[in-house]
Amino acid sequence: MYNGMSHSPQVSSLRRARTLRATAAAAALAAVLLTAGCGSSGGTTRGPEAAAAPIEGFPVTVDNCGVKTTYEEPPARVVTVHQHPAELMLALGLRSRMVGTAFPDSAVLPELKQDFEAVPELAEREPSFETVLDAEPDLVYGGYGSAFDEKEGRSREAFAGAGINTYLNREYCGKKQVTMEDTYEEIRTIGRIFGVPGRAEELVSGLRGDVDRAASAVGDEPEVPVFVYDSGDKSAFTAGGKSLGTELIRLAGGRNVFADLDDVFGDVSWEQVVDRRPEVIAIYDYAGAGSVGQKKKFLLSQPALADVPAVKNERFVVLPLTATLVGIRSAYAVGDLAGALHPGSFR
């Protein structure tokens, strides 16, 4: 929690600048109201107290990864760090509330591309604390835990000290295995925070329908053992049992061969991969970790992997990393995986 530590000179100067701007804006508003009052010809007018009337559905209190925040009104200036929070907000029609985004790591969904490109990109990876402050957000919504990396000066406490609320994707609260229900609840929570619960329920209903149809189509099929290859050469960086990827594989009629790894992601040895004999390899595709072609070439060139069924039969399925995270794409990933694991069910 915020411990009252002193702020850096950069933070202090930025806050002073905000105060000056706010004071000037208030003075201008007072002048306008005074002028309007002097020119009134009688009758009843609604004074400035009307603007302070309670907003329907507010206040909203959210406990996010142990950080409790009360929103008296919907956030108006949001910075998203990582792509999946940005896509979730855009899918809820919240483009006008976004003042910056950062770290795009795959192609944006076509239906969201125009809106996404209209949001200022603050950085190719995680932006600095000062860069985020320059956008003057009232909320920072992070997709991975690294959005609020204390060592980089971006802790949630640091943002709180600057008067900025934070929200972290629930997949990184670190409590349990993440499921599709967490995806649905993430959407509902963001809908509550921004005062659009109806839009959130409509989006959840559509995504749940997509998942249910795909899962039903493969419900009677035998499980296919799947190895998730994110990256790595000396060892393999893979999706563990707490990741949403494990749940997506299960719903698609498969079994993550490293579901016993007690983390969202982790490193395993290639000897372990060989021992577990996956029949399909799901390659996670994102910027900065080598292309899909490079990853396939690496897997196919390793003599130790030659007898692994997935490598021998070249059974690979490619998933954008954003499709395997708590966000709107995960529902689509179930259908893509199900079709790759059990193609006969979709002919």
- Return the pLDDT at 289: 78
Give me the CATH number covering residue 278.
3.40.50.1980
Residue 347 pLDDT more than 90?
A: no
- If pLDDT is split at 50, 70 and 90, which confidence band does 56 have? confident
Q: Is residue 28 part of a domain?
A: no
pLDDT digits (tens, 9 = 90+) for 242-294: 889 999 999 999 999 999 998 889 999 999 999 999 999 999 998 777 899 99
Which of 112-116, 169-173, 311-315 shows the lowest per-residue confidence on average (mean pLDDT)? 169-173
For the record, the structure tokens of 158 come out as 């640091």
What are the angstrom distances between the C-alpha of 116 and each of 89, 91, 104, 113? 10, 10, 10, 5
- Return the pLDDT at 175: 67
| Domains identified in the chain, total number | 1
Query: In the beta sheet, which residues pair with residue 319?
Result: 284
- Return the pLDDT at 257: 98
Q: Is residue 69 part of a domain?
A: no
Q: Is residue 319 part of a domain?
A: yes
Q: For a pLDDT cut of 70, what percent of the chain falls above it?
A: 84
C-alpha–C-alpha distance, residues 166 and 26, integer Å: 26
pTM of the model: 0.79
Count Cβ atoms within 10 A of the Cβ of residue 22 and give its class: 0-12 exposed, 13-18 middle, 19 or more buried: exposed
Q: Is residue 281 part of a domain?
A: yes
Which residue carries 């204390």 as its tokens? 150
Residue 23 pLDDT more than 80?
A: no
Q: Is residue 302 part of a domain?
A: yes
pLDDT digits (tens, 9 = 90+) for 172-218: 887 677 899 999 999 999 999 999 999 999 999 999 999 999 999 99
Q: Tell me the residue range of the domain where 254 lies.
A: 221-342
Q: Is residue 310 part of a domain?
A: yes
Give the dihedral of Cα atoms 187, 219, 242, 327; nearest 10 deg. Answer: -20
CB-based burial, 67-87: b 16+ in 10 Å, e otherwise:
bebebeebbeebbbbbbbbbb
Q: For a pLDDT cut of 90, what percent of the chain falls above it?
A: 71
pLDDT digits (tens, 9 = 90+) for 111-135: 999 999 999 999 999 999 999 999 9
- Return the pLDDT at 38: 41
Residue 1 pLDDT more than 60?
A: no
